[in-house]
Amino acid sequence: MRYSLFILLSSALFIASCKESRIHDHPQWGNYFEEYGIDSAKACFIMRDNNHEAIDYFNKERCLERFTPASTFKIFNSLVALEIPKVPDESFVIMWDSVERWNPAWNKDMSMREAFKVSNLGYYQELARRIGPDYMQHYLDTANYGNKSIGGGIDQFWINDSLKISADEQVGFLKRMYFKQLPFTERTQRIVHSMMLQEDTDDYKLYYKTGWGQHADNNVLWVVGYIEKIVPIKEHENSMNKSDVRMYPYFFALNFEVPESDKSQQWATIRIDILKKLLKDFGAMPTDKES
């Protein structure tokens, strides 16, 4: 059975209070997509504010719609490989198969950490073949990841539109990983968490994985992850936290579609620009004036 963060949180809040809602619709967030010529009806963003047990979103219907995870599946693929273990740690090297691929950065031997950073499809296809369908299906089922389908081949299912997951489900999955609640060891989840780190500043730490897949005649672009907002606070002398700093996590998933034929803009860069504008709008990331 598929459980939605919207549904679960709605039920919990109804029991707790019928007066106060913590599920917030932000139709104005569509402007951040429209600014780049993206049809906002084919875009969505969802954020789980863990500190206030709230969900903020744009385009609820699309947040609940499943799409191919594309390269965001490398998060899950890494977890399984480290767990069984086919990979002893993130330094594990797979030799390049000498097949020239479109991205020159992929055409060499590399470790898992390197492959994750450059989103090396060939590395992760080989990793999936070594994992095999039995282990892969077992963990998709136990982690309840999307529709849990591996049709079309062990090295193809996350890019051939067989496996699908919604933005809402991505956020739930990442929240469980952050708090080490997935059916993997703490060590496995900690390693993958570290591989997702993209920006480390005095004000925040930003973790994410991008994805680029196909849906009909459109490209589907993803960014999924979380941000830890760093807040200085004077702790009580008896507090277990001795650093006088607290981390406040926010979990997010963004996707949008553009025509496959549209090469007019740098969509890979734009998806990160939109994400940061949304995070700043919400207050999870400092604005340029605050930085």
- DSSP symbols for the chain: ----HHHHHHHHHHHH-SS---EEE-GGGHHHHHTTT--GGGEEEEEEETTTTEEEEE-HHHHTSEE--GGGGHHHHHHHHHHTTSSSSTT-EE---S---SSGGGSS-EEHHHHHHHT-HHHHHHHHHHHHHHHHHHHHHHHT-TT---TT-TTTTTTTTSS-EEHHHHHHHHHHHHTT-SSS-HHHHHHHHHHTEEEE-SSEEEEEEEEEEEETTEEEEEEEEEEEEEEE----TT-S--SSEEEEEEEEEEEEEEETT--SS-HHHHHHHHHHHHHHHHTSS--TTT-
Q: What share of the chain is helix, strand, coil (3-state, %, to 5)?
A: 40, 25, 40
Tokens of 177: 């990983």
Single-letter amino acid, residue 211: G
- CA 279, CA 4: separation in Å to the nearest integer? 22
Based on the residue annotation, tell me whether 71 is a catalytic residue of this protein.
Answer: yes
Catalytic hit among 10, 11, 71, 162: 71
Nearest Cα residue to 46 out of 288, 200, 251: 251
d(CA 71, CA 78): 11
Residues annotated catalytic, as ranges: 71
